[in-house]
Amino acid sequence: MMETYPLLAGALLFPLGMLLACLWPGALLRMPSYLAFAPIPAFAAVLFVADVSPLVVGPPRLHLTFTLDLPGALLLGVAALLWITAGAYASPYLQGRPNRGRFAVCWLAALTGCIGVFLAADMVGFYLFLAMLTLGACGLIIQHETADAWRAGALYIGLGLLAETLLLIAFVLLAADIPGNGLLIADAAAALPTSPHRDLIISLLIAGFGMKAGLVPFHVWMPRAYAAAPTPAAAVLSGAAVKASILGMIRFLPLDTALPHTGTLLAAAGLFAALYGVVIGMTQRRPKVVLAYSSVSQMGFIVAVIGMGMIAGDGRAALAAIFYSANHVLVKGALFLSIGVIAATGRRYLWPMLLPVAIIAVGLGGLPLTGGALAKIVVDGPLGDGAANTVATLSAVGTTLLMLQFVRGLITTVSTDQEATAAPSLFWPWLSTAAASLVVPWALFLAVPEGMLPNPLAPELLWKALFPVLLGAILAAVVWRWVRRLPHIPEGDIVVVLDSCVKIAPAWGKTIEQAEGMLRRWHVAGISLLALTLALGAALLAQ
C-alpha cells in the first residue's frame, strides 16, 4: 500500500493545479480536453489509501485536516468515476461552443470543491470546499447564458449561499462546543448531543444541508438548475455534487445517539419529498426536468434513511445511506449522459441505445439484479418494518413510473436524422458510466462480509424487488393509456410563489430607497446627527 499523504494531497492538488493553470491563457484553451484527467488522482487515492490517518495542512493553531474515512471513500470513489466519465463526455460536448474556457474553470472549481468536501475532516475545510463547489456549480448552470439559465443560477446561488450561511452559524456554534481549539468535524459531532444549543444546531444543519440536498420545499432550484445546465454538468451536479449534503448530514449529525423527534421529522420530510418528487415529476415532459424531480425524490429517500437512523440511534443507517447514494451517483450520472447520446442517435439505432437506459432507469426503482435493488436491500434494515417501509415501497413504485416517463420523454428527443449515431467520444463515456452503475454496486455489495446482509438472489427478495417495478410498469401503462391530460405544473413548482415575492420586492426596495434619499438631505442628516448625539449620550449615561 502506498503512503497516505501524497495520495490525499495529490487528489486535491491535481485538480487545484489544473484550475490555477487556467490563469495562463494557453492552458485555458486546451483545458476542456483534459477534464477527464483531473479526478484520476482522487480515484487512485480511494483505491490505494489504506488507513484513515489524516493529512494536516498549516500551523497548529489553525489548520486544515483531510482524511479518507469509509463514507467519504465510498462516495469519493464513485463520484470520481462519474467525474472522469463525464469529463470525457464534456470534451466533445464542448467542441466549438462558446465559453469553453469558463466551463473548464467552473468544472475544475466544482470538482476541487467536491473532492475537498469528501475529504475534509474539519469544519473550515468543509465549508471552504462547499463554497467552492457552490460557486463552480453556479458557473456551470449559467453556462448557456440564456435568461432561464441566469434565473436558475440566481436561484441556485441564492439558496446555496443561504444554506451555507445557516451552516456557517451551525459550525460557529459547534466550534464553541468543541473543547480546545480544534475544529474537527468528528469532535464537533461528538460534542453535539451534549451541546446547550443542540436543537438549534441540528435544525440549522438540517435546514442548511436540506437546501443543498433539495429537500421539499427547498427543492425548487433542482429542476431549474439541472434543466439549464449543460448535460455533462447536470450529470455531475445531480450525481456527485449534491451528495456533499448527504455526506455533511452523516458527518455532522449524531447518528449514534437516538434523537426520536428530530429523526421522525427528518424521516417524514424525506419520505414526503420522495413521493412529492415523483408526483410532480410525472407532470413534466422534458427528460432533464423529469430526472431532476427524480433526484428530488431520491435525495428525499436518502434523507429519510438517515432520519430513520436517527430515530433508532443506529449508526449503520449512515453506511446504508451512503451505499444508496453511491448507487444513485452513477445511475443518475448515466441517465443524464444518456440524454445527450439519445439526442444524437437516429431512430434506426434507437432501440439498442434505449435498452441499457431503460434497464438503469428502472433499476433505480429496484429492478432485481441492478444496483438499485441492492441499494434497496441495504436500506431495508434501517427503514424497519413500519410505515416507512410502506412509503418506501410506494416510492419504489413511483420511481419506476417516473423513470418510464423519463424513457418515454427521451424517445421524443431522438435525432431527426434516421441514420445518425452518437459520436464515439460521447458514446463510450456514457456506456462506461452505465456499465459502472451496474457493476460497482455489486462490487461494493460483495465487499460487505457475508451474513451481514441478506442474499440478494433469494427468491423472496427478488419478488419483493420485482413487484413494485411491475406495479409501476402497469401504472405507467394505465396512465399513458387512459389519463388524457396530466396537469401542467411549471418547472420548479412552488418557486412560482417565490417569483411573485420577487415581484413585490421592488416596491419595498423603492420605499427604502426613498427613505434613504430623505435621510441624505442635509438638514435631515444634521438633525439625525444631533438626535444621535443626544441618544448616545443618554445611552452612555444609562447604567
SS3 242: coil
Nearest by Cα to 224 from 296, 311, 118: 296
CB of 459 to another protein, least distance (A): 53
Cβ distance 104 to 22 under 8 Å?
yes
Residue 145 DSSP class: -
User: Rounded CA gap, 10 and 84, in Å?
Assistant: 16
454 near another protein, judged by CB under 8 A:
no
State which amino acid sits at residue 14.
Answer: F
Q: What is the CA radius of gyration of the chain?
A: 24
Among 2, 176, 439, 478, binds another protein (CB under 8 A): 176
Shortest separation between residue 228's beta carbon and another protein, angstroms = 13
Contact between 531 and another protein per CB under 8 A: yes
Least distance (Å) from another protein to the CB of residue 112? 13
In this complex, which beta carbon is closest to another protein, that of residue 59 or of residue 451? 59
Q: Out of 39, 136, 153, 248, name the contact with another protein by CB under 8 A.
A: 153
Shortest distance (Å) from residue 105 CB to another protein: 10
The DSSP annotation for 100-111 comes to HHHHHHHHHHHH
Which CB sits closer to another protein, 161 or 312? Answer: 161
- Enumerate the β-bridge partners of residue 66: 55, 120
Helix (H) or strand (E) holding 64: strand 64-66
Q: Mask 275-314, x = binds another protein (CB under 8 A)?
A: ----------------------------------------
Interaction with another protein in 178-217: which residues (CB under 8 A)? 197
Q: Shortest approach of another protein to residue 514 CB, angstroms?
A: 10
Measured from the CB atom, the residue of 497 and 531 that comes closer to another protein is: 531
The 3-state DSSP class for residue 56 equals strand
Q: Which of residues 116-145 bind another protein (CB under 8 A)?
A: 124, 127-128, 131, 135, 142, 145
Q: Is 542 in the site for another protein (CB under 8 A)?
A: yes
Residue type, 533: T
d(CA 157, CA 148): 14
CA atoms within 13 A on the CB side of 538: 6
> From CA 541, how far away is CA 248, in angstroms rounded?
48
Q: Is 169 one of the binding residues for another protein (CB under 8 A)?
A: yes
CB of 502 to another protein, least distance (A): 10
Size of the site for another protein (CB under 8 A): 61
d(CA 366, CA 383): 15
Only one of the segments 285-293, 360-368, 395-403, 523-531 lies at the binding site for another protein (rule: CB under 8 A); that segment is: 523-531
| Three cell numbers, residue 161 | 449561499
**Whole-Å CA distances, 151 to 44, 291, 297, 529:** 38, 19, 23, 42
Q: How far apart are CA 85 and CA 79, in angstroms?
A: 10
Sign of CA dihedral 475, 267, 125, 173: positive
Q: Which residues contact 219 (CB under 8 A, 6 or more apart)?
A: 273, 276, 277, 296
Scanning the structure block, which residue is given the C-alpha cell 418510464? 404
| Coil, strand or helix at 141 | helix
* 513 near another protein, judged by CB under 8 A: yes
Q: Which of 452, 482, 488, 543 binds another protein (CB under 8 A)?
A: 543
Contact characters 369-398, another protein, x per CB under 8 A: ------------------------------
The answer to whether residue 526 forms part of the interface with another protein (CB under 8 A) is yes
What pairs with residue 56 in β-bridges? 65
- Minimum distance from residue 303 beta carbon to another protein (Å): 24
Q: Which region, judged by CB under 8 A, interacts with another protein, from 159-167, 351-359, 440-448, 461-469?
A: 159-167
- Mark the segment that binds another protein (CB under 8 A) among 266-274, 353-361, 389-397, 525-533: 525-533
Q: Is 423 in the site for another protein (CB under 8 A)?
A: no
Residues 6+ apart with CB under 8 A from 361: 331, 335, 403, 404, 406, 407
Which of 62, 70, 448, 497 is in the footprint of another protein by CB under 8 A?
Answer: 62
Strand partners, 55: 66
Q: Does 504 sit near another protein (CB under 8 A)?
A: no
* Residue in 140, 173, 185, 436 binding another protein, rule: CB under 8 A: 173
Select the span of 60-68, 323-331, 384-392, 403-411 touching another protein (CB under 8 A). 60-68
Cell numbers at 128, concatenated: 471552504
Query: From its phi and psi, is residue 72 left (phi > 0), alpha (psi between -120 and 50) or beta?
Result: alpha
The 20-59 site mask, x for binding another protein (CB under 8 A), equals: --------------------------------------xx
Figure out which of the listed residues 6, 315, 454, 537 binds another protein, where binding follows CB under 8 A. 537
Q: Which residues of the chain form contacts with another protein (CB under 8 A)?
A: 58-59, 61-63, 124, 127-128, 131, 135, 142, 145, 150, 153-154, 157-158, 161-162, 164-166, 168-169, 172-173, 175-176, 197, 506, 509-510, 512-513, 515-517, 519-537, 539-543
